[in-house]
């Protein structure tokens, strides 16, 4: 392969189990002969440790140059401390669409044949961080307040993304998930915009359905097969995508892509799993599936298909599985088995 066909990508191994699952994913991509040139950067707790900044300028500059990143999980302190580096990256690069597919790979679980795609609005809603406490008497946190913001432009963008995705991938239905009965402005604008865009541009191309978020959460457990593509606002999308991950074997199987006009960042849905870090037992598949989404994104769909196929064969024919999937393989043992499959072609 000549130098001109190589693709520079920013690599952020991340915190906790991040370096372990990143090493596994790089081994798989190398076995696939994927033409990526990695620019290694730190962020999250790793950024704080290395240079006192959870999102170092060098990391931002790298993504600005490559416009692509593969990212491990980044730790965020709970209740105080620095703001999430993930949220800041989404803001910095206007990564407005968070694409989270949930597909059964290991059959025989509680649910079989799941094939759902959740499209989450990634820049607005209750994640804007417009939050404050109001002190009363000697309680500095007597009142906690948060303001959510959804804009017409943001709603249009994410609804079009979801409808376009459904049409392009031959999906039948897009379900718009909202809470417009209670949050009439914040999620009302989202539902109203979805209806407008669908009526004007997609009526003949794909079915649109509406559902209130609480009913959606229940129906996903009762009968997930009734759904196809789901589109929703930021917080609801965060929660429902973890629920969908639970339908397909847990967070170790759930990849995600953050896509904007100027950049795309691929990651596992799960966090840094501090309870597993350093033990070599984390499931690397979610990040590997995110790498498959990266391969699709850069037009290397044949390699993405091979990666997904060989993950499937390693799990279901070779029966090599990590603990979260009921097996006893270490991260390295699973990776070695997968690499052997990939090298066999």
Applying CB under 6 A, which residues contact ligand NAI? 17, 21, 73-76, 86, 251-252, 267, 270-276, 282-283, 286, 324
Given the residues 139, 214, 262, 312, the one annotated as active site: 214
Nearer to ligand NAI by Cβ, of 32 and 276: the residue is: 276
Given the residues 53, 164, 242, 318, the one annotated as active site: 242
Rounded to a whole number of angstroms, the minimum distance from the CB of residue 168 to ligand NAI is: 25
First to last CA, the chain: 18
Cα 41 to Cα 43: distance, rounded to the nearest angstrom: 7
Closest CA to 209 of 224, 223, 221, 191: 191
Rounded to a whole number of angstroms, the minimum distance from the CB of residue 102 to ligand NAI is: 15
Does the active-site annotation cover 138? no
Does the active-site annotation cover 53? no
- The helix or strand, by DSSP H or E, that contains position 229, with its residue range, turns out to be strand 229-232
DSSP three-state, residue 237 = helix
Return the residue nearest ligand NAI (CB atom).
271
Nearer to ligand NAI by Cβ, of 278 and 299: the residue is: 278
Given the residues 179, 202, 296, 303, the one annotated as active site: 179
Does the active-site annotation cover 275? no
Given the residues 238, 296, 310, 324, the one annotated as active site: 238
Does the active-site annotation cover 184? no
* 117 phi and psi angles, rounded to 5 deg: -130, 120
Please state, as a whole number, how many other Cβ atoms lie within 10 Å of the Cβ of residue 229.
Answer: 24
Provide DSSP, 100-136.
EEEE--STTSSS-S-EEEEEEE-SSEEEEEEEEEEEE
Q: How far is CA 9 from CA 13, 166, 221, 291, in A?
A: 12, 27, 37, 11
Rounded to a whole number of angstroms, the minimum distance from the CB of residue 293 to ligand NAI is: 14
Q: How far is CA 258 from CA 47, 178, 192, 245, 276, in A?
A: 20, 21, 24, 17, 25
Does the active-site annotation cover 127? yes
Rounded to a whole number of angstroms, the minimum distance from the CB of residue 337 to ligand NAI is: 16
Nearer to ligand NAI by Cβ, of 59 and 197: the residue is: 59
Nearer to ligand NAI by Cβ, of 150 and 322: the residue is: 322
Catalytic residues: 127, 179, 214, 238, 242
């Amino acid at each position: 392969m000549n130098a001109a066909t190589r693709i520079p990508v920013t690599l952020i191994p991340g915190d906790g189990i991040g370096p372990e699952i990143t090493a596994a994913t790089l081994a798989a991509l190398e076995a696939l002969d994927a033409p990526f040139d990695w620019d290694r950067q730190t962020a999250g707790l790793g950024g704080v440790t290395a240079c006192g900044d959870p999102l170092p300028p060098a990391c931002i500059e790298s993504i600005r140059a490559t416009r692509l990143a593969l990212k491990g999980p980044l730790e965020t302190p709970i209740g105080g401390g620095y703001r999430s580096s993930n949220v800041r990256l989404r803001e910095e690069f206007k990564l407005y669409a968070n694409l989270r597919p949930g597909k059964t790979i290991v059959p025989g679980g509680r649910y079989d044949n799941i094939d759902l795609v959740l499209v989450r609005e990634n820049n607005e809603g209750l994640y804007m961080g417009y939050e404050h406490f109001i002190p009363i008497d000697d309680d500095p946190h007597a009142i906690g307040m948060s303001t959510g913001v959804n804009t017409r432009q943001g709603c249009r963008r994410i609804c079009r993304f979801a409808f376009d995705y459904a049409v392009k991938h031959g999906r039948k239905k897009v379900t718009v998930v909202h809470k417009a009965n209670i949050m009439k402005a914040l999620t009302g604008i989202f539902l109203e915009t979805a209806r407008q865009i669908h009526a004007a541009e997609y009526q003949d191309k794909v079915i649109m359905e509406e559902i209130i978020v609480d009913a959606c959460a229940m129906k996903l457990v009762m009968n997930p097969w009734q759904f196809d593509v789901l589109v929703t606002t930021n917080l609801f999308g965060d929660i429902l995508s973890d629920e969908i991950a639970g339908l397909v074997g847990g967070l170790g199987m759930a990849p995600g892509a953050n896509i904007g006009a100027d950049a795309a960042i691929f990651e596992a849905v799960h966090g840094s799993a501090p309870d597993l870090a350093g033990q070599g037992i984390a499931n690397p598949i979610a990040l590997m599936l995110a790498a498959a989404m990266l391969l699709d994104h850069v037009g290397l769909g044949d390699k993405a298909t091979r990666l997904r196929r060989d993950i499937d064969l390693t799990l279901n024919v070779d029966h090599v599985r990590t603990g979260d999937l009921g097996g006893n393989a270490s991260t390295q043992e699973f990776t070695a088995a997968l690499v052997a499959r990939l090298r066999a072609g």
